[in-house]
Amino acid sequence: MDKMKMSIATTNTAATPSEPMSIRPQRLLPTRIVQNYILVWLDANIDDINSSDCTNIINKLSEVVNRTRHFTDVDECIDFITDIHEEKVFMIFPDSYKQTILPIIRDIPQINSIFIWSNSQAGHENWIKHLPKTKGIFTDIALIFKALQQVAHECDQNMISISFVSIGSESSKQNLNELDSSFMYTQIMKEILLTIDFQQKHFDEFIAYCGQLFSQDQNQLQNLEKLEREYHKHDPIWWYTYPCFLYSMLNHSLRIMDIDLIIKLGFFIRGLHNHIVGLHAKQFLGHSSSTSFTVYRGQGLSEDDFDRMMNTPGGLLSFNNFLSTSMDRQVSLAFAESNQTDLDLIGVLFAMTIDSLISDTAFAKVGHDSHFEEEEEILFSMNSIFRIGSIKQIDGNIRLWQVQLTLTSDKDPDLHILTDHIRKETHPAQKGWDRL
């Protein structure tokens, strides 16, 4: 197998353990997936790598993706990938495989990104242009790490759960019967979790759970130790934006409606929501003049979700997670444009009109509270609901669209009917844990 340069230290933000774990890719124990993606490493000659080099590579990449699977057999690898239903796959293999495996995997929808590594980049420029999922030819593990960080962020951005609710002139009863289950479950879970008085024991139980989950992952164990030691030293928004497992775990659990994990994360969900509510009160409440403004979010939508949105004119759109947006249109447009080459996605720029005088949804500017201090970011609490407006191509590009959204009010008649129906069906007389 081709040797890769090991310039790792310059980008490694985690402390180096005094006794590195002896992790080989094929010996990683099965663990529960708590991210939107996994890393698949195909190479029949993995045993030719020096043991310490292999450990360093795996430890480095696990800072981004905490689930890695290694395969030496192509058929076994493909079978594993095609059996995945909820997550996306980032795939790494040496350039000696490109002739045999690229024709097979290029159209597999589970594969999000392909990283090919080689001793040299020369001679690859022409054919790689025709493979949108291929992120490049890499000769350095540090470069793969940087590219992996970028695609993981984009994957989380694109895989946020979105629900669409049609609003017609006919009886609302029909719409309620056909209501997207993720819309209902997110609404219910949010209402329940916000009424529970979480204690220190719930935080301790979460730490113990993560200790078992990441028992083989030194990087995440270091993050877990920091979380346990410093959780109360920082605000929830800081932790939400801090580069560790917490953000991706929350994102994944809400997307697939992993109720057990959502409950374990309940202390954090409530804390994050309350933090946003507090900032919202300071920043927007008490203003007598209009505070209407526009924020943006760029992402990729699957063709199925895009078609559902196009077929829901004037309806409701719910982001079933905490929602990051920006006041900078160009930054968000760049995110939308980055999805044009992925034939499985449609690039979408959401332009969201917000009026804090009529909306009861919690949102806040979080730049000074964020780990990254991005002053243009506006963060919405989970289950923010918008009215769908115009949908137009950008510059005549069939794979790039701008969608106009307007943040709803709790007094919105359609939304009022929906939420009342959901509450009546979910033991409204009970509170907290008893309602679960």
3-state SS track over the chain: CCCCECCCHHHCCCCCCCCCCCCCHHHCCCCCCCCCEEEEEECCCHHHCCHHHHHHHHHHHCCCCCCEEEECCHHHHHHHHHCCCCCEEEEEEEHHHHHHHHHHHCCCCCEEEEEEECCCCCCCHHHHCCCCCEEEEECEHHHHHHHHHHHHHHHHHHCCCEEEECCCCCCHHHHHHCCCHHHHHHHHHHHHHCCCCCCHHHHHHHHHHHHHHCCCCHHHHHHHHHHHHHHHHCCHHHHHHCCCHHHHHHHHHHHHCCHHHHHHCHHHHHHHHHHHHHHHHHHCCCCCCCCEEEEEEEEEEEHHHHHHHHCCCCCEEEECCCEEEECCHHHHHHHHHCCCCCCCEEEEEEEEEEECCCCCCCEEECCCCCCCCCCCEEEECCCEEEEEEEEEEECCEEEEEEEEEEECCCCCHHHHHHHHHHHHCCCCCCCHHHHC
Q: Is residue 25 part of a domain?
A: yes
The answer to whether residues 10 and 225 touch, using CB atoms and an 8 Å cutoff, is no
CATH number for position 153:
3.40.50.2300
Q: Is residue 227 part of a domain?
A: yes
Count of positions (residues) in the chain:
436
Give yes or no: residues 420 and 337 share one domain.
yes
What is the model's pLDDT at position 336? 95
Sign of CA dihedral 28, 239, 184, 264: positive
Give yes or no: residues 304 and 410 share one domain.
yes
Pairing of strands 88-94, 37-42: parallel
What is the model's pLDDT at position 435? 61
Give yes or no: residues 349 and 217 share one domain.
yes
Sign of CA dihedral 19, 25, 31, 34: positive
Reading phi first (left if > 0) and then psi (alpha if -120 to 50, else beta), residue 94 is in beta
Give yes or no: residues 118 and 230 share one domain.
no
Give the chain's domain count.
2
Q: Map residue 426 onto helix, strand or coil.
A: coil
Measured CA to CA, the distance from residue 412 to residue 358 in angstroms comes to 10
Q: Is residue 4 part of a domain?
A: no
Q: Is residue 380 part of a domain?
A: yes
Give yes or no: residues 32 and 171 share one domain.
no
Q: Is residue 3 part of a domain?
A: no
What is the model's pLDDT at position 2? 43
What is the full per-residue pLDDT of the chain (436 aa) written as tens digits? 444 433 323 233 333 333 333 333 333 333 567 899 999 999 887 666 555 566 677 778 888 898 888 898 999 999 999 999 989 999 999 888 888 888 888 889 999 999 998 877 665 566 666 677 888 888 888 889 999 999 999 999 999 999 998 876 443 444 555 567 778 788 888 988 999 999 999 999 999 999 999 988 888 899 999 999 999 999 999 999 998 899 999 999 999 999 999 999 999 999 999 999 999 999 887 766 667 899 999 999 999 999 999 999 999 999 999 999 999 999 999 999 998 878 889 999 999 999 888 788 999 999 776 666 655 899 999 999 999 999 999 999 999 999 999 999 867 777 777 777 777 766 666 666 666 6
- Number of Cβ within 10 Å of residue 287's Cβ equals 10
Give yes or no: residues 146 and 261 share one domain.
no
Give yes or no: residues 79 and 176 share one domain.
no
Give yes or no: residues 128 and 264 share one domain.
no
Give yes or no: residues 248 and 100 share one domain.
no
What is the model's pLDDT at position 34? 84
Give yes or no: residues 194 and 284 share one domain.
yes
What one-character DSSP code corresponds to residue 383? S
Q: Map residue 242 onto helix, strand or coil.
A: coil
CATH number for position 361:
3.90.176.10
Torsion angle of the four alpha carbons 348, 336, 41, 161, in this order, in degrees rounded to the nearest 10? -40
Give yes or no: residues 91 and 188 share one domain.
no
Boundary (domain end) residue, out of 141, 157, 173:
157
Q: Is residue 2 part of a domain?
A: no
Residue type, 237: I
The alpha carbon of residue 427 and the mean position of all alpha carbons in its chain are separated, in whole angstroms, by: 31
Q: Is residue 66 part of a domain?
A: yes
Q: 142 is in which domain, residue-wise? A: 9-157
Boundary (domain end) residue, out of 157, 179, 209:
157
What is the model's pLDDT at position 101? 87
- Helices (H), ranges, 194-265: 200-213, 218-230, 236-241, 245-256, 259-264
Tokens encoding 86: 């909820």
Q: Is residue 258 part of a domain?
A: yes
**């190479």: which residue's tokens?**
43
Give yes or no: residues 124 and 207 share one domain.
no
What is the model's pLDDT at position 426? 66
Boundary (domain end) residue, out of 157, 192, 217:
157
What one-character DSSP code corresponds to residue 5? B
